[in-house]
Structures are given as C-alpha cells and as structure tokens.
Amino acid sequence: MRKKTNRSVMTMGITILVVLLFIWHFNRRFEQLKRRATPSAQPSSVTEQVKSPVTGTGQADLIEPGQAKRPILACFCAKWRYGCDDVGKLLDKIKSRFDDKVRVRMIDPADDPGLAKQFRINNLPTFIIFDAQGKLVLRSERMMTEEELLAALGQAGLTD
C-alpha cells in the first residue's frame, strides 16, 4: 500500500511540475505577443531614434530630418541567424542598383545592443526604412523579398 501511495505522490508531483512549466511557457509567449500587438510610441523621425551614423559596424546615424537627402534602409540581422547571408546579398544588390540614392546598412544587434534596444529589436531580421525627411516608412520583423523592399523604398521616395 505504501508503494502505491509513494508512486501516486510522485505522479502527482510530476503532473504539477509539467502543468507549471506549461503555464510558464505560454505566459511568456503571451507576453511577447502582447508586446508586439501593443502599439509602442514609435518616434517618427531618425533624429528621435538615432543619435549617431548607421554603419556596417552597428553604430547609429546622426541625421536631422531633411539632412539625409536620401532614404535609409537599415536591417538588423546577426551572423549566426539563418538567412542573414541572403539578407546581406539582397542589401548589396539594392545598394549597387541605387548607388548613392539610398543609405543601406546591416546592423548586428550584438555589435550595438544599445541601438537594438532603441529600435526595440525583438526578431531577426528586422527591416526599417526612413524617407529622406526622416519619417518612418516601414518596420518589418520578418524576412522580406526584394520586391517588397523595393516597393517600400518607392514609398520612401526612391526612384530608379
């Protein structure tokens, strides 16, 4: 009888542990989804978000609205992240196509965690596009095709 009681207590303990882990996991996931769904007070210009130049090394851009004189395409992606090689090739293709008409930067959040925090980077890749006046045109936390990026750059005022 005592063995059955011990086994029942152990089974009950394991069941409680599994239920608690299940609740913890889904509560964490729910909080992440809630944060994404809640509109954050996104600054509307580069100046409000960025206090120094977006470069390939992950430093931010100091651009006053109207001084940029060209759209900015910034992509937050990490070397270890699957698909970031493709993102790099895509950004190189856009950069070579438009040359100096658009400022293109790929930023590794590990190189500049402060900048990643400023832009509230939660997923990789994250694409951010500003027009020449510094107005936010696009923020996308997913992989994008060349056509999607070109359409967004068109909204930012970029023409061939």
HEC profile of 77-123? CCCCCCCHHHHHHHHHHHHHHHHHHCEEEEECCCCCHHHHHHCCCCC
Query: Would you say residue 160 lies in a domain?
Result: no
Dump pLDDT digits (tens) for 30-81: 666 555 544 444 433 333 333 333 334 444 443 444 566 889 999 999 888 8
Residue 29 confidence (pLDDT): 67
Burial (CB < 10 A; 0-12, 13-18, 19+), residue 145, is exposed
Tell me how far apart the alpha carbons of residues 54 and 63 are, in angstroms, rounded to a whole number. 10
Do 103 and 58 share a structural domain? yes
Residue 115 pLDDT > 60: yes
* pLDDT at position 150: 94
Beta carbons within 10 angstroms of residue 33's beta carbon: 10
Q: Same domain for 139 and 62?
A: yes
DSSP 36: H
128, 74 in Cβ contact below 8 A? yes
Q: Look at the chain and report how many structural domains it folds into.
A: 2
User: What is the end-to-end Cα distance of the chain in Å, rounded?
Assistant: 83
One domain, residues 67 and 145: yes
Q: What confidence tens digit (pLDDT) does each residue in 9-19 have?
A: 888 889 998 88
Tokens of 91: 């950004």
How confident is the model at residue 68, as a pLDDT?
64
25 and 50 within one domain: no
Contact 154, 69 (CB under 8 A): no
Domain that holds residue 31: 1-38
pTM: 0.61
Shared-domain flag, residues 149 and 75: yes
Q: Taking a C-beta distance cutoff of 8 angstroms, is the pair 129, 112 a contact? A: no
pLDDT of 127 reads 95
| Percentage with pLDDT > 70 across the chain | 72
